[in-house]
Amino acid sequence: MKIRCLGAIRAVTGSCYQIKNPQEGYTLLDCGLFQGGRQTELRNFNTPVYKPDEVTSIVITHAHMDHSGLAPRLVKAGYRGPIYASEATCDLLNILWEDAAHIQELEATWKTRKNSRQGQKKVDPLYSIEDAQRATKLLKPLSFERDYEISPGLWVRYFPAGHILGAASVMVTAREEKGESRVLFSGDLGRTGQLLIPDPTTPPQADLIFMETTYGNRLHKDLGASVEEFLSVIDEAYRSGGKILIPAFAVERTQEIIFLLAKAWHEGRIPKDLPIILDSPLAIGASEVFIRHPELFDEESTELFKAGHSPLTMSSLRVTRTMAESQKINEIEGSAIIIAGSGMANAGRILHHFKHNLWRPDCHVIFVGFQAQGTTGRRLVEGAEVAKIFREAILVKAKIHTIGGFSGHADQKELVEWLRPQIHDKLTVVLVHGEEAGTLAFETLLRQTFPTLRTRVPYWLETLEVTPDEARVLAAPPAADEVPEEAPYRDSREYRSLAERLERLQRSLVPRDAPFPPNALANLEALLNMAEEIILRRPDA
């Protein structure tokens, strides 16, 4: 079985692995959007690399856009095969894909309007609402812990992965004349003891594992301590009359936060007159999906719901579906909790609330999830003094809080413990879905913990092969026609590294009247020399 790495390689978005079917064609394991900086997102337009004409099936681990959000793009390119996912994931994708398409269409309209003023060409959306609707018609629900033959000789089996509602780890088995090969894709692994969702299960042993490393170099805070920190921030903001802004992912994190608030509200731990506003039509729809799948809740959450600790019984909860309702939130005087997407603050209604509140010293922003490089959320977490919101520079006076205990991803220790039962002499673990520094740190830890374990941190477009006897890497650079036309050579590792380092240096120089960073001139000179070398080697860059 040959597997090509198309995304989430030394990064956390764009998850996609191209599996060569035993007979003909390809299966895609996940088909996710690249999210973050502009250069990263250009990869979403590089459709030929996915070979949509040769793909016979798509298998989705869970509903988050960085694992599923590119599937409608392949449908736009002509894909008409099945898209497999768990039942809850299918329900979520029915609303998530159309919402993502709506955003794509709005962005394309805005860019076209801007280009027309400069005499430039029209911009087409990544995919349309019609493409998303066609994609949802291709969804095929699969049950957990049952074998399905999705292509002649290729079988899949889902195992609960925690993380979010319906999330799965996937065992892919190729049965050929020379024997049977098993590859386990961890998907995104949830924490043990997280809110709402049961712990990840332990799949059978595999020959090769593709393992996520989002928090491969970090340990999370204790959940109980995180809850207390969360409630203390709310208390401080309430006393000072400030707003509490919570950028939250529409799926899972929003439901966990509302569930936590409902429990605290029923127990009298937050003021009864404190408005709690869910300002996200997408999150509202996702919450309705959660309510339809109580069979996927953990035992404690089920009991709490039976005891009446449901968000639906909070009189202080308001939901705002329309833009007009969202705008009226700005008229609220005094403190209020505002939960809005997106979770990394790179789009969505949370940006409007940032524009109206980031400059206020009594405002509190609580980040409850991972913030990828290049996003507004990451810049705020790293201490940015100015945020660019809708092309306007907003002074950051709000208090920024990062509460890691709510993460839906397993931390370093939990990742090791999930892997431990999988260890055997012939196993190779491919480390993916993590920023490079964290992934490499996790690889070092694994080699110390399991000295005989073989590991690999692949590069984009590398191919790995697994046989009944061994797993090996067939590394090769991308072909010239696999680099997006919109950005020639920009997807090379050298160019990407240069762009990221220049971006970090640029951020360090804002605001302009700040003290000049030590060694900034020397760093800039080194980067410019690096750029010159790249350009000399590739005159067309």
Query: Could you tell me if residue 487 is inside a domain?
Result: no
Helices then strands (H, E): number in the chain?
Answer: 16, 23
Report the CATH number at residue 244.
3.40.50.10890
Residues 59 and 160 in one domain: yes
3-state secondary structure 337-393: EEEECCCCCCCCCHHHHHHHHCCCCCCEEEECCCCCCCCHHHHHHCCCCEEEECCEE
Query: Could you tell me if residue 308 is inside a domain?
Result: yes
Per-residue pLDDT reduced to its tens digit, 46-75: 999 999 999 999 999 999 999 999 999 999
Lowest mean pLDDT among 204-213, 240-249, 365-374, 377-386: 365-374
Residues 518 and 452 in one domain: no
Residue where one domain finishes, among candidates 482, 503, 519: 482
Q: How far, in Å, CA of 167 to CA of 169, rounded?
A: 7
Residue where one domain finishes, among candidates 383, 406, 429: 406
Query: Could you tell me if residue 311 is inside a domain?
Result: yes
**The residue type at 521:** L
Q: How far, in Å, CA of 504 to CA of 392, rounded?
A: 20
Is the pLDDT assigned to residue 522 strictly greater than 70?
A: no
What is the pLDDT, as a whole number, of residue 478? 64
Provide CB contacts within 8 A for 347, sequence distance 6+.
103, 341
Residues 244 and 175 in one domain: no
Query: Could you tell me if residue 377 is inside a domain?
Result: yes
Percent of the chain residues topping a pLDDT of 90: 62
Residues 95 and 231 in one domain: no
Mean pLDDT of 198-203: 94
Confidence of residue 118 (pLDDT cuts 50, 70, 90): confident
Residue where one domain finishes, among candidates 377, 406, 435: 406
Split into its structural domains, the chain has a count of 3
Residues 168 and 229 in one domain: no
Query: Could you tell me if residue 488 is inside a domain?
Result: no
Query: Could you tell me if residue 24 is inside a domain?
Result: yes
Confidence of residue 287 (pLDDT cuts 50, 70, 90): confident
Residues 467 and 509 in one domain: no
Domain that holds residue 81: 2-218+408-482
Residues 412 and 371 in one domain: no
Residues 414 and 397 in one domain: no
Query: Which token pair is 186?
Result: 């961890």
Confidence of residue 532 (pLDDT cuts 50, 70, 90): very low
Residue with tokens 């332990």: 202
Residues 198 and 68 in one domain: yes
Residues 162 and 311 in one domain: no
Query: Could you tell me if residue 272 is inside a domain?
Result: yes
What is the pLDDT, as a whole number, of residue 41? 86
Query: Could you tell me if residue 402 is inside a domain?
Result: yes
Mean pLDDT of 512-541: 49
Residues 51 and 171 in one domain: yes
Residues 175 and 298 in one domain: no
Per-residue pLDDT reduced to its tens digit, 236-271: 999 999 999 999 888 888 988 988 898 899 889 999
- Which of 49-53, 119-123, 308-312, 485-489 is modeled with the greatest confidence? 49-53
328 vs 525: which has the higher pLDDT: 328
What is the pLDDT, as a whole number, of residue 311? 60
